[in-house]
Amino acid sequence: MFSFKRRAHPTRYAVLSPCQGGAAALRLEGDPDHPLVAAFAVADNPALTPDLLQRLASEAGIQSTPLTALLDQEAYQTVLIEAPNVPDDELASALRWKVKDLINFHIDDAVLDHLPVSGRNSQPPSLYVVAAQAPAIRELARPYHQADLPLAAIDIRESAQRNLGMRLAPEDYAVAVLHFDGESGLLTFTFGEELVLSRRIEGRGAGGDFLFDRVAMEAQRSVDYFERQFSWLPLAKVYLAPMPDAALLVRKLAEYLPVGAEVLDLGRLFDLHGQERLLEERMQNRVFHLLGAALREAR
């Protein structure tokens, strides 16, 4: 169930997931390259109960559709490691051994998944490993099972942003996507269909201009690291997820970053016709990762 890999023979999933301040459901239809958000429902309720899930699924018409939910970012860690030089049937145990001292919970409570990372012939291959807390996965899945809803995949924010970024990158270029919700942020770097690097940005405890300075400075450090470690991948641009005061943060990013930055127009990626609430910047920020997760099987 816990997997963020794209499938060779895709099935269109719907998303029914916790989000900022509650939960939301959405369903895509139509052109895979510019899908229509055919249904959208949101609830301002922090408690993810079976009744709430059933109501949102009914409003979005997805009671029988395979569902994706996003795991809370506090319930998993991401680690970039050198790929173990072992046979495929020994990879799982080798990964557990390599990451056991790199995560802040016991490896016996971890569920692992991984993706390859682009490299040059002169460098050993790398793997992007996600270690999720098994109890958190079970807790997330429980109300779906109680509601008799077909939860088929649990995803993470990083791969949701990867799904968005891969649609924005010019050929042979990497792009970065930054989501910031006013307290914390996530910056991901995507090349082709690959999630190359991610960095979390902490903004709690800061306010005003100092907050955006902190975000921009951390973004600059991450871009500098990316350009050093992945110098063969030219970075085209940094896209900022829609948010209130997005224009102010973009101007601040422009002061710090060596590449251009702009606010991501979600209308470039999705047909939002008929979904008035999804035209609001605050709502777009709130369900940004749900939209990305909905693209996981869109090809």
Do 122 and 176 lie in one domain? The reply is no
CATH number at residue 192: 3.30.420.40
Question: Which residue, of 135, 160, 188, is where some domain finishes?
Answer: 135
CATH number at residue 80: 3.30.420.380
- Tell me, yes or no, whether 94 lies in a domain: yes
Residue range(s) defining the domain that contains residue 108: 73-135
- Tell me, yes or no, whether 279 lies in a domain: no
Return the number of other C-beta atoms located less than 10 Å from residue 228's C-beta. 8
Q: For 240-258, how does the pLDDT look when each residue is reduced to its tens digit (9 = 90+)?
A: 999 999 999 999 999 999 9
Do 181 and 255 lie in one domain? The reply is yes
Do 200 and 250 lie in one domain? The reply is yes
- What's the mean per-residue pLDDT of the chain? 91
- Tell me, yes or no, whether 299 lies in a domain: no
- Tell me, yes or no, whether 182 lies in a domain: yes
Do 131 and 210 lie in one domain? The reply is no
* Across 1-5, 90-94, 173-177, 269-273, least confident range: 1-5
- When divided into structural domains, the chain yields a total of 2
Report the pLDDT value the prediction gives residue 122, as an integer from 0 to 100.
53
- Tell me, yes or no, whether 86 lies in a domain: yes
Q: For 149-165, how does the pLDDT look when each residue is reduced to its tens digit (9 = 90+)?
A: 999 999 999 999 999 99
Report the pLDDT value the prediction gives residue 51, as an integer from 0 to 100.
96
How buried is residue 162: exposed, middle or buried, by Cβ count under 10 Å (0-12/13-18/19+)?
A: buried
Please report which confidence band the pLDDT of residue 233 belongs to, taking 50, 70 and 90 as the band edges. very high
Q: Is 2 helix (H, G, I), strand (E, B) or coil?
A: strand
* Across 89-103, 111-125, 187-201, least confident range: 111-125
Sign of the C-alpha dihedral, residues 233, 173, 282, 19?
negative
Report the pLDDT value the prediction gives residue 264, as an integer from 0 to 100.
98
Do 102 and 180 lie in one domain? The reply is no
Q: Is the pLDDT of residue 218 over 90?
A: yes
Do 95 and 176 lie in one domain? The reply is no
- The whole-number average pLDDT for the span 124-152 is 94
Q: Is the pLDDT of residue 211 over 70?
A: yes
- Tell me, yes or no, whether 295 lies in a domain: no
Q: For 32-72, how does the pLDDT look when each residue is reduced to its tens digit (9 = 90+)?
A: 999 999 999 999 977 899 999 999 999 999 999 999 999 99
Residue 34 contacts residue 271 (beta carbons within 8 Å): yes
Do 127 and 181 lie in one domain? The reply is no
> What backbone torsions phi and psi does residue 72 show, to the nearest 5 degrees?
-60, 140
- Tell me, yes or no, whether 209 lies in a domain: yes
Residue 203 DSSP one-character state? -
Q: How far apart are CA 188 and CA 161, in angstroms?
A: 7
- Tell me, yes or no, whether 65 lies in a domain: no
Report the pLDDT value the prediction gives residue 235, as an integer from 0 to 100.
97
Q: Is the pLDDT of residue 3 over 70?
A: no
Residue 185 contacts residue 167 (beta carbons within 8 Å): no
Q: Is the pLDDT of residue 202 over 70?
A: yes
Do 78 and 122 lie in one domain? The reply is yes
Q: How far apart are CA 215 and CA 219, in angstroms?
A: 6
Do 186 and 128 lie in one domain? The reply is no
Angle at 285 between CA 248 and CA 174, to 5 degrees: 75
Do 177 and 104 lie in one domain? The reply is no
- The whole-number average pLDDT for the span 261-284 is 96
Do 120 and 178 lie in one domain? The reply is no
